[in-house]
Amino acid sequence: MKTLALLALCSVALAQSTTQLRGIVTDPQNAAMADAVVKLNNSQTGVVRQTVTTSNGEYQFLQLTPGTYTVSVEKPGFATVSRTGVALLVNTPTTLDLQMELGRTAESVNVSAEASTINTVDASVGNPFSEQQVSSLPLQTRNVVELLSLQPGVTTNGEVLGARRDQNNITLDGVDVNDNQTAGLVAQNTTTGTTYQGVNGNGANVNAGFNGVLAVPLDSVQEFRVTVGGLGADQGRSSGGQVVLITKSGTNALHGSLYEYNRNTATSANTWFNNQAGVPVQKLTRNQFGASIGGPIKKDRLFYFVNWEQRTDASSVSQVQAVPAESLKQGYMNVQLADGSVQTLGPADMKAVDPLGIGLNPGYLKIMNQYPVGNDPAYGQDGGLNFSGYRFNAPSHLNNMAWVAKADYKLDSAGKHTLTVRGTLQDNTQDVILAQFPGQAPASTLRDNSKGISARYTAIITPAIINTFTYGLTRMGQELSGVGGTGFQFEPTAVAPLYNWNARPKGRTNPLNNFLDDLTWTKGRHTITTGANLRFNQNNLSAFTTSFPLYAYGATELIGLGEDINNAVSNYLGGAVLANPTSVTNASAMLLGILNDVFVTYQYNRNGQLLPIGTPQQRTFIARSYSGYIADTFRVTRELTLTAGLRYENFRPPYESHGLQVDPTIPLNVYFAERNGLQAQGVPANQMPNFTLSYALNGPVNGKQSWWDPNNLNFAPRFGLAYAPSGHDGLIGKIFGKTGAFRVGGALTYDQFGNDLITQFDQYGSLGLTNPTNFPDSYSFTTSPRFNGAFPALPPAAPGGFPYTPPPIAAITGTFLGISPDLKTPYSIALNASFSRELPGKITMEIGYLGRLSRQLLLQSDVYTPVENYKDPGSGVTWQQNAMIVYNLANSLAQKAGLPYNNAAAYVAQEVMNNPSLVPNLPFVNNVWPGYKDAYFPGSASANYFYSVYGVFGSSFLDSLHAADRISGNYIPGKCLSVPGCYTFFAQQGSTMPMWMNAGQANYHGLSVTVRRRLANGLQFDFNYTLSHSIDNASAAESGAGEQGASIQNIYNAGAFRGSSDFDIRNNFNANFMYLLPLGKGQPLLKSVPGWANPIIGGWQVSSIWRYSTPLPSAVQGDLAYNTNYWLSSLAVVNTPTPSGGVHIDDNGNPSIFTSTSVSSNFQDQPPEGAGTRAAVRLAPIFNVDISVSKTFPLPKEGQRIAFRAEAFNAFNHPNFTNPSLSLQSPLTFGEFQQTLPPRSMQFALRYEF
């Protein structure tokens, strides 16, 4: 109520869909002219506005509808001065100064003064796009929001000046049309089908930040404007780019279009990898057609505009899946040794190495033989030895329809009261997750029937007071088909499942009611704006995501990560060192039938009653947000304008409307603080006061707070300065010219957050309502169940009811999610400074600094991380310090033998077994695990601990710790090895619990250069260059992050993960241009052609978009080892600097970021302290050119024409390689690219316009 009361003090909302004009009127001696009457007229819509100049000769018009106007000035004793064709673009302050001439008022003088395109009002940064640009530039998806990427400081994924890609705010006619749950996320396997990011990129997809809820056909867009920096107080909701879209309006003249755009296979190129694999070009049949019409219902008063568009695709998209090699399907495993030789183990050999002596598993062989024959060995985990890749073209269908209608009504003849209504309907069907293998149906098809309506009432109360009220309802409606029933999969990094079990049915409806109002008051040199924005969001979800069980063989769930079978194979081959242990583990498991995991989620209702398997998870989440602002634009002098404002944001914590929400009874931030603080005092986890967690219902429906406390003090000051001296002589005149400006801005902005975070928590963290469950034990090759043609029984469900206390877990399972209840709203301090001036040839140049300091960013880290800083009271040594001694010793032994660390586990273990004295006395081991003495061989506890890590558990420190700390009887009958008892280090009730918290920090600094030429003599262009560096400790957005996105590895040292952001692009170029060729009558060239030839020679236009960006960074995935927690396997650290950041042909003859796969030895698993290396390598640069050529034929009837258009996307068919293999689990293909961005495709269009 306090929030609503605060907002009631000011009128409500944001006026981001209008524009303004200002200027100064002077007499012939250049003195300011007061009391002159300035009139503004738009003959197309009948809009007439009038004002009087101040004592300083100043005038301004606010809250104008974008369009083309005529400006005239009258005063007795002077001739009337008029300027026609003044184009006012949306949300772009324009300045037009006019000089009077002596004469009679009845005389009219048309002046040539041009409105300056340089912003001299505020500090905003961003380039507007006119209707002609929007319609002329070649856009790959004909999605106008793609133009956001043609701004300074914007990545191709949608990160704006370092802001996360889910923080862009898209408004249509002033109304919120954002996806308020998964903004910044693209569905899997869209027609682009690839990602730009590397291993640590967390799945940022192409164009991920450029998507709104409603369809916006290009032919319905009048203008497009983006603000990327220098935000005013009226701009907010989120801290990224502010995208403003304006729907076309009708005018006094009837106008419209009919159009058809076509793409087909004949004019499309194949992907680079399809060509190499002998796969034919992807089928492409796309038709996009529609019609628009606008005009008057009542001249000068009532107008309409309607646009209908449909797009149909019957195409295919290149896919690649990992499959077993033919030899593996026949029961043979190929083993590459460190010396480069390859040994083949047949059925008899596999029986000999099988710890149970059983040998080949007929059930798994039958499953493997259902896979197609691989055609791309390089894609396989081991380069084709046991695993291959299968490339094929999967069918992809789409049928999208959109209807847009708009009406504008001047309620009175003077135009002081106007009403605008816009409605959008869409009916879309699209295959979003394609067939897993040939012959299958699409794994998931999207049906989208989202719709929206907006209504705006504008009242000119007095010439100095204007009020605008807007209401919008945007209803997102989506339904995804999918597969049901019990699933099975092999280790997915080795072999893709036969069916995509992640594609489960789900759907949601998400109505958003948006109330806005804006009040503008001009008083002398002050322009005061005030308002607020109220959003009422309801998210109705129904999902089968976790409704069915999934059985699996998973390498990461194996005790020792398969080291027992690797040792057996190595010993069978005479102690040979394996070149690719991970391949041996996976191939052996598939031949022997290892079935070591099941994933099943038991669901309960609010009363604790168990629901049947297959029941969808249904929730209704409610979210409210309130924003208010007040700002003053103060024109201190003719040359200096100051803008100051204060914005208020209040994002209320979401809640579930039926009370289906829980959280731990002990706040997780308190739980973590206790573990973190007491471990350093030598207190084992099992002796901490809050060792056991319980869960209870929470939220307003249950009479409690929601998942986190409200943040009621989110005040955001904004400041801007614009200094624009004009008419000066000397140095200032030379620097600024006639219309130059220096602008400085600062803004504190808040991130919108929470709507997707809670849906992820609801699925994986709402224990007592949804209980993820696995087998109760972890298995090795010796103990694992084997597949016998049927799946074993599911583990039992825990009893329901609240409070719910999860049972103890003694397996490498139990992954849940958590939320810190003290979450704060992430914020950024955005800074910018720029200098701009006009150059000859109608060119303007702007050079500036763009910066962002982001704090309290949301990220995840594992609150169940073992207490690795536990200090042994006897020795004063921590687990981590002890582990580092062992790690460094193993590294030293490997280096002496000339072996890479990641291939040396078996070797160093054998060395220690042969000579236990190699391991020094380790006081920590002696005090905490004295039972290690003689555990594997006669020798000290220290030597046997070393052997446990490297000889039994494959260099995975946490697997060794798990065996000592959670498995009773593993070393000592009836008890755990840890002297303080089981769970000295581990949490009792799970292996991992990534918790959302405010531990993120980021800095972005950039230099931007923008050169623009306004349309003149048929030519217009924009060029943007940004030199920047973005640094953070986690890069992914909260929206779409899932279980592992936006993550740091070491919760005890958040700063250890600091490095270049995953989206850090040091050099980013983009440019676009339109050029009407100067041919034919009235043009410089061939102006004397015969009349019959002019329609052929004239009317040609070329437009193009160019993009180039230097390589993105990526981490390198380590081997299958867990050295800090069970949530994220180890990343690699760089032990030898390795050049990267280009495209090379490696020693396998494949495109790679390296010249040889052998550089994998330059990396090794991260140590038990700290974290892996972020930005360990750079990927490939991205270069793309899209070109459009159009020809317009005028028709005999005036105003009518036909236009033919040909467009080429990736016109030069440049292969932009992406997704390299950057995992030490695959050293034989290390660095090799696996995909490309789309190849060249062409589009042809025919348009009739009137």
3-state secondary structure of 694: coil
Reported as a pLDDT band with limits 50, 70 and 90, residue 31 is confident
Instruction: Say whether pLDDT at 376 is over 90.
Output: yes
Reported as a pLDDT band with limits 50, 70 and 90, residue 192 is very low
Query: Could you tell me if 443 and 462 are in contact, meaning their C-beta atoms sit under 8 angstroms apart?
Result: no
For the segment 1022-1036, the average pLDDT, to the nearest whole number, is 94
| Closest to 272 in 3D by CA, of 1218, 1247, 1141 | 1218
Query: Could you tell me if 1001 and 855 are in contact, meaning their C-beta atoms sit under 8 angstroms apart?
Result: yes
Residue at 255 is within a domain: no
* Residue-level pLDDT at 1171: 85
3-state secondary structure of 379: helix
* Residue-level pLDDT at 1042: 67
Within 10 angstroms of residue 727's Cβ, the number of other Cβ atoms is 13
| E strand or H helix that includes residue 853 | strand 843-862
Quote the CA–CA distance of 234 and 227 in Å, as a whole number.
12
Strand order in the sheet with 597-603: 487-489, 550-552, 597-603, 770-773
Structure tokens at 1031: 């640094």
Instruction: Say whether pLDDT at 291 is over 90.
Output: yes
Quote the CA–CA distance of 61 and 20 in Å, as a whole number.
6
For the segment 1057-1072, the average pLDDT, to the nearest whole number, is 95
Q: Name residue 294's beta-bridge partners.
A: 255, 305
Residue at 932 is within a domain: yes
| DSSP output for 1186-1203 | EEEEEEEEE-SSTT-EEE
Point out the domain boundary residue: 48, 76, 110.
110
Q: Show the CA angle centred on residue 1210, arms to residues 1205 and 1214, nearest 5°.
A: 150
* Residue-level pLDDT at 20: 86
Point out the domain boundary residue: 969, 991, 1013.
991
* Residue-level pLDDT at 727: 77
3-state secondary structure 249-285: CCCCCCEEEEEEEEEEHHHCCCCHHHHHHCCCCCCCE
Instruction: Say whether pLDDT at 313 is over 50.
Output: yes
The burial of 957, by beta-carbon neighbours within 10 Å (0-12 exposed, 13-18 middle, 19 or more buried), is given as buried
Reported as a single tens digit per residue, the pLDDT across 840-865 is 999 999 999 999 999 999 999 999 99
Residue at 921 is within a domain: yes
CA 611 distance to own-chain centroid = 35
Cα of first residue to Cα of last residue in the chain, in angstroms, is: 53
* Residue-level pLDDT at 193: 32
Quote the CA–CA distance of 313 and 284 in Å, as a whole number.
7
* Residue-level pLDDT at 112: 55
* Residue-level pLDDT at 185: 59
Residue burial 1075-1100, b: 16+ Cβ < 10 Å; e: rest: bbbbbbeebeeeeebeeeebbebbbb
Structure tokens at 638: 């003719």
Q: Is 1170 left (phi over 0), alpha (psi -120 to 50) or beta?
A: left
* Residue-level pLDDT at 342: 96
* Residue-level pLDDT at 2: 42
pTM of the full structure: 0.90
Point out the domain boundary residue: 68, 87, 110.
110
Query: Could you tell me if 1195 and 1202 are in contact, meaning their C-beta atoms sit under 8 angstroms apart?
Result: yes
Structure tokens at 692: 């056991």
Structure tokens at 634: 């103060």
User: DSSP class of residue 949?
Assistant: I
Torsion of CA 298, 299, 303, 309, to 10 degrees: 100
3-state secondary structure of 1097: helix
Residue burial 1104-1117, b: 16+ Cβ < 10 Å; e: rest: bbbbebbbbbbbbb
Structure tokens at 248: 């076309």
Tell me which amino acid residue 357 is. G
| DSSP output for 35-86 | S-EEEEEETTTTEEEEEE--TTSEEEEEEEPSEEEEEEEE-TTEEEEEEEEE
Q: Which residues contact 1139 (CB under 8 A, 6 or more apart)?
A: 1154
* Residue-level pLDDT at 818: 95
Q: Which residues contact 447 (CB under 8 A, 6 or more apart)?
A: 428, 429, 478, 479, 480, 481
| Closest to 987 in 3D by CA, of 552, 666, 598 | 666
Reported as a single tens digit per residue, the pLDDT across 610-624 is 999 999 999 999 999
Q: Show the CA angle centred on residue 221, arms to residues 510 and 830, nearest 5°.
A: 70
* Residue-level pLDDT at 1025: 97
Whole domain around residue 982: which residue ranges? 868-991
Reported as a single tens digit per residue, the pLDDT across 729-771 is 889 988 998 889 999 999 999 999 999 999 999 999 999 999 9
Q: Show the CA angle centred on residue 442, arms to residues 438 and 443, nearest 5°.
A: 110
| Closest to 1027 in 3D by CA, of 995, 1072, 1069 | 1069
Structure tokens at 630: 């007040």
Q: Name residue 285's beta-bridge partners.
A: 264
Quote the CA–CA distance of 482 and 1193 in Å, as a whole number.
49
Count the domains in the chain. Answer: 2
* Residue-level pLDDT at 64: 85
Instruction: Say whether pLDDT at 123 is over 70.
Output: yes
Strand 550-552 and strand 655-656: the pairing is: unpaired
What are the angstrom distances between the C-alpha of 8 and each of 123, 468, 472, 653, 1224? 29, 15, 19, 21, 59
Quote the CA–CA distance of 1067 and 1009 in Å, as a whole number.
11
* Residue-level pLDDT at 1121: 78
Reported as a pLDDT band with limits 50, 70 and 90, residue 996 is very high
* Residue-level pLDDT at 207: 52
The burial of 1025, by beta-carbon neighbours within 10 Å (0-12 exposed, 13-18 middle, 19 or more buried), is given as middle
| Closest to 347 in 3D by CA, of 369, 366, 362, 363 | 362
Instruction: Say whether pLDDT at 680 is over 90.
Output: yes
Give me the phi and psi of 730, to 5 degrees please. 75, -150
Reported as a single tens digit per residue, the pLDDT across 337-373 is 989 999 999 999 999 999 999 999 999 999 999 999 9
Reported as a pLDDT band with limits 50, 70 and 90, residue 445 is very high
Reported as a pLDDT band with limits 50, 70 and 90, residue 978 is very high
User: DSSP class of residue 707?
Assistant: S
Instruction: Say whether pLDDT at 45 is over 90.
Output: no
Residue at 304 is within a domain: no
What's the CATH number where 94 sits?
Answer: 2.60.40.1120
Residue with tokens 């924003």: 627
User: DSSP class of residue 556?
Assistant: G
* Residue-level pLDDT at 1103: 97
Quote the CA–CA distance of 827 and 875 in Å, as a whole number.
44
Quote the CA–CA distance of 266 and 511 in Å, as a whole number.
43
Instruction: Say whether pLDDT at 635 is over 50.
Output: yes
Share of the chain above pLDDT 70, in %: 95
Structure tokens at 826: 């992430």
Tell me which amino acid residue 399 is. N
Within 10 angstroms of residue 474's Cβ, the number of other Cβ atoms is 27
**CA dihedral (548, 552, 554, 560) positive or negative:** positive
Quote the CA–CA distance of 233 and 283 in Å, as a whole number.
49
* Residue-level pLDDT at 55: 84
Residue at 1009 is within a domain: no
Cis peptide before 821 (omega within 30 of 0): no
Structure tokens at 1103: 């437009």
Within 10 angstroms of residue 967's Cβ, the number of other Cβ atoms is 17
Quote the CA–CA distance of 904 and 890 in Å, as a whole number.
8
Residue at 831 is within a domain: no
Structure tokens at 452: 């929206």
Quote the CA–CA distance of 981 and 929 in Å, as a whole number.
10
Residue at 918 is within a domain: yes
User: DSSP class of residue 1036?
Assistant: S
Reported as a pLDDT band with limits 50, 70 and 90, residue 6 is very low
Residue at 1233 is within a domain: no
Quote the CA–CA distance of 1227 and 382 in Å, as a whole number.
7
3-state secondary structure of 957: helix
Quote the CA–CA distance of 1062 and 1055 in Å, as a whole number.
16
Query: Could you tell me if 388 and 323 are in contact, meaning their C-beta atoms sit under 8 angstroms apart?
Result: yes
> Length of the chain in residues, anyone?
1250
* Residue-level pLDDT at 197: 31
Reported as a pLDDT band with limits 50, 70 and 90, residue 588 is very high
